[in-house]
Amino acid sequence: MLMSYENDRRTLANRAHEVLGDEAGETLMEHLPHGGYAHVATKDDLRVLSAELRKEISDSARRQIIAVFGLIAAQTALIMSVIR
């Protein structure tokens, strides 16, 4: 499959250079994905990833806040025991 894609890409590049000229043909080819469109993320892919990252960040922040409050409580208890 990849071999066919590379052959098709080479054929398109040659035709683009013939029709558009070297500079415009090269510009066109540079804007096409090298691995084909199967590897290009869609807006839906990005929405899903965004939601997953937001949840992960939120969960991480929640854990950090809980840890900080635990440390504050431990320090407070230590200070209170020293004061007494």
pLDDT of residue 38: 77
pTM of this prediction?
Answer: 0.54
User: Has residue 7 got a pLDDT over 90?
Assistant: no
DSSP 54-66: HHHHHHHHHHHHH
Reported confidence tier of residue 9, pLDDT bands at 50, 70, 90 = confident
Q: For 20-77, what is each residue's pLDDT tens digit?
A: 999 999 999 999 887 777 788 999 999 999 999 999 999 999 999 999 999 999 999 9
User: Has residue 2 got a pLDDT over 60?
Assistant: no
Task: Supply φ then ψ for residue 67, to 5 degrees.
Answer: -65, -40
